[in-house]
Amino acid sequence: MPFFDLPPSQLETYRSSARAPEDFDSFWATTLGEVREVPLDPVFERIDVGLDVFETYDVTFSGFGGNRVRGWYIRPAGRSTDRCVVKFIGYGGGRDLPHQHLLWPSTGRAVLVMDTRGQGSSWSMGDTPDPVGSEPAHPGSMTRGILDPATYYYRRVYTDAVRAVEVARSRAEIDPDKVAIAGGSQGGGIALAVAGLDPRVHAAMPDVPFLCDFPRAVGLTARDPYGEIVRYLLTHRTKHEQAFRTLNYFDGVHFAARAKARALFSVALMDDVCPPSTVYGAYNAYAGPKSIESYSFNNHEGGGTLQEQRHVKWLAQQG
């Protein structure tokens, strides 16, 4: 894949053209206020999956609309820990199996992995349905309910994610002010949303984040998932303004502008799924202390395991 986006010197100063709706903050305050009227009701069921040096729990909690969301909670066995990382999954994937989430417990921290509702059949397994219907949509998740912010799919997902952080804080052993968040691609976009919605987040690690700078992303790349929106609008020719009005309530650029947690981003300069300018659109808007790792010759895999190694060292420095 060749370089196709702005040159590095322009990426470093690029600013998105997206402007938050006037009622952006009130929309999200109302959304979170409504879900908090429903008891969180976290349930942790200890299970034996043969990982003897870890304690593994099957987790359920009440997310958007009171719908039950699944997850994993994994912590080191036989030692105390008051730190937790909440992990969000990439597009199309689910929580899958516990042994795939052992990085953070191996460092002495707990990890809470949130299943993404309605996903988990593309490259990893999921167990959480999305029982909320929508108007006609293109196959995939990107256009479910896209004609109204109140019905858009990611309203439910972002709300679930805020609740997942609250679930981590509900654990007696966890310091509620030492909960970090992490994710790649869609998981990175979700992490940005949570960082902007929850001022108590300790640290954020969004890798090659998706769901950022919709005005530039849609049409710049021919790849899915942004391509789902293009194909939807190809058919729904008169819905362009309505769809982009909805997307503007879910743009990572706006959440980044409201985030205060320390953040470590990553970007790949040959990424044709989440173009580098869209990542920089969110990074340059980010209001908290921040740094970014850039991978010049990588596509959407970004920094891979090298970036994970940098996560471990960086988060240890944050306390």
What is the torsion angle, in degrees rounded to the nearest 10, for the CA atoms of residue 32, residue 33, residue 37 and residue 38?
-10
Name the helix (H) or strand (E) containing 46. Answer: strand 43-47
CB 156 within 8 A of CB 124: no
What is the model's pLDDT at position 137?
84
Q: What is the pLDDT of residues 142-187, one digit of tens each?
A: 999 999 999 999 999 999 999 999 999 999 999 999 999 999 999 9
Reading the block at residue 291, the tokens are: 């740094």
Which string of b and e fits 48-61 if b means at least 16 CB within 10 Å? Answer: eeeeeebbbbbbbb
What is the model's pLDDT at position 133?
84
- What is the C-alpha to C-alpha distance for residues 263 and 282, in angstroms, rounded to an integer? 12
Instruction: Point out the residues that are catalytic.
Output: 185, 271, 300
Q: Beta 179-184 vs 84-88: how paired, if at all?
A: parallel
The domain defined by 8-318 folds into Rossmann fold (3.40.50)
| pTM for this prediction | 0.97
What is the model's pLDDT at position 290?
98
Q: What is the mean pLDDT of the chain?
A: 96
DSSP at 139: S
Tell me how crowded residue 155 is: count the other CB atoms within 10 A of its CB. 22
225 cis-preceded (ω within 30 degrees of 0): yes
Q: What is the DSSP string of 143-163?
A: TTTTT-TTT-HHHHHHHHHHH
Amino acid letter, residue 269: L
Q: How confident is the model at residue 319 (pLDDT cuts 50, 70, 90)?
A: confident
Reading the block at residue 97, the tokens are: 């199996």
Q: What is the DSSP string of 70-83?
A: EEEEEEETTS----
Q: What is the DSSP string of 258-307?
A: T--SEEEEEEETT-SSS-HHHHHHHHHH--SSEEEEEETT--TTTTHHHH
Whether 1 has a pLDDT exceeding 80, the answer reads no
Q: What is the pLDDT of residues 257-302, one digit of tens each?
A: 999 999 999 999 999 999 999 999 999 999 999 999 999 999 999 9
Domain residue limits, the chain: 8-318
What are residue 41's phi and psi, to 5 degrees?
45, 60
- In the chain, what percentage of residues exceed pLDDT 70? 100
